[in-house]
Amino acid sequence: MTTVPAAITWPLLALMAVIVVVRYAFFRSSSYERYLNRTLSLLLLANLLREPVIDSYLIESGLLTIADAQQISLVLLIFACTEFMGFVTVWANNHSGASSEGVRRRHFYHRVAAAVLAAAFIAAGTPARNAGQTLEQFGGWTSVTAWVFDTTIYVAMATMLIRMVHKELIRPDAHRNERLVAVAGYTIAISIIITCVEAVALNVFENLNWLHSVDFRLKLHGSCIFWESTLAIVLGTVPVVLALNARAGWDATSRNWRRLQLLKESMIEAVPSVAFELQSRASGRQKTSLDLHQVTVQIRDAILRLRGYVTGIDDDHIADHLRRWAVPEEQRDAAAQALRLAWAINAKNSGVDPTPLDTSTIVQSRSTTLEEETAELLRLATWWPEAQAAVRQRRTAQPQSQERA
């Protein structure tokens, strides 16, 4: 029975239920998602069986005793851990290249082991059920045995989870959000292992009369399972939040697409031939990688076509430009390249004939992926408005200087 106040548990349980329903409705296309959905639904059922209101109703109805409710909830947790092991197995398969058949066979063994451990746990917990007491209250070596059978699968799952999140944390290309999720997973795994060791060890110490901890264990077990389940379900909301975020156009791809629009429009205006439309464009605010790739291709193509219009720009002019806009040291190359590109467009619009030119004076790309290409162009786009302003100001100042002359 949970010891967390109902004012906390019921709102969170309601949120868990909503998340589970949403996931089953919209996130069930891959084996990843199906394993995770089953994990979260079993966690929800296990926690509902630990709620005092539900327990009281079941007891008063004569359907279950408090011992039955505890042990059934723990069996549900055994199978929840097994389904999450399937999730981890699929993840490992995607990184190791193992066959799908091998993954299914391995998870079949996980489920068989879970069924055996659950049956052994129920058998070992029979004396406590007959006495109508929880495992903590009943004590004895049969309770120790029951805890061993119960926690074995938890420790196995936590160990697999630690291995998975460790690989995520050391992956060089992992994003910050992915690392945060990995840290949360690591926290869950460590918490589970500590709780499992505590459940067995303190029961053993109780039987040996070394330590009396029944009240402490009742309180701890009444809260830790709820909070561990809550954190696991919160992690299950990450794909939901990301999907809503993308639908609203707040994902990185959509944001980068919008940040490149001013630069793209300037490039198309200067070199109309680079414009092209995709056969299928993303509707709404959400943009796909293909939409972003279209923008980068148009910008890069225009830059290449403007190479012949780049003329020598006085170093003092570039230095003045960088000082005027207080360009940070690490962004000066991008700001200078933006200025050169703006002058190239000005030269083309002024009717200057293109001339062969050393390509080192125009933006050079060393990117090999869409992510690298986007990051490079975003640095250029950051200083594009300032470069345009500098060219306009210089063009305005030149006729005035000629009139005074």
Average of per-residue pLDDT across 147-161: 94
User: Does residue 303 contact residue 267 with C-beta atoms inside 8 Å?
Assistant: yes
Q: What is the mean pLDDT of the chain?
A: 87
Does residue 364 have a pLDDT over 60? no
Select from 122, 119, 35, 28 the least CA-distant residue to 71: 122
User: What is the CATH number that goes with domain 6-246?
Assistant: 1.20.1070
Domain(s) of CATH 1.20.1070: residues in the chain:
6-246
The b-or-e profile of 197-231 (16+ CB within 10 A means b, else e) is ebbbebbbebeeeeeebeeebbebbbebbbebbbe
Q: How far apart are CA 220 and CA 4, in angstroms?
A: 10
Q: What is the pLDDT of residue 398?
A: 60
Q: What is the pLDDT of residue 358?
A: 55
Does residue 13 have a pLDDT over 90? yes
Neighbours of 172 (CB within 10 A): 4
231 confidence band (pLDDT: 50, 70, 90): confident
Average of per-residue pLDDT across 220-227: 90
Q: What is the pLDDT of residue 31?
A: 85
Q: What is the pLDDT of residue 272?
A: 92
341 confidence band (pLDDT: 50, 70, 90): very high
Q: How far apart are CA 265 and CA 261, in angstroms?
A: 6
User: Does residue 188 contact residue 232 with C-beta atoms inside 8 Å?
Assistant: yes
Q: What is the pLDDT of residue 357?
A: 57
Q: What is the pLDDT of residue 242?
A: 75
Average of per-residue pLDDT across 229-244: 81
Q: 93-135, pLDDT tens digit by residue?
A: 765 555 677 788 888 999 999 999 999 999 999 999 999 999 9
Q: 164-215, pLDDT tens digit by residue?
A: 888 888 888 777 777 887 888 888 899 999 999 999 999 999 999 999 999 9
Average of per-residue pLDDT across 257-284: 85
Average of per-residue pLDDT across 239-253: 80
Does residue 160 have a pLDDT over 70? yes
Select from 183, 190, 184 the least CA-distant residue to 224: 190
Average of per-residue pLDDT across 377-385: 94
Does residue 363 have a pLDDT over 70? no
Ranges 100-109, 237-246, 301-310, 333-342, most confident: 333-342
* Structural tokens at position 46: 């296990």
Q: What is the pLDDT of residue 405?
A: 45
Q: Is 133 left (phi over 0), alpha (psi -120 to 50) or beta?
A: beta
Q: 59-98, pLDDT tens digit by residue?
A: 999 899 999 999 999 999 999 999 999 988 887 776 555 5
Higher pLDDT, 398 or 121: 121
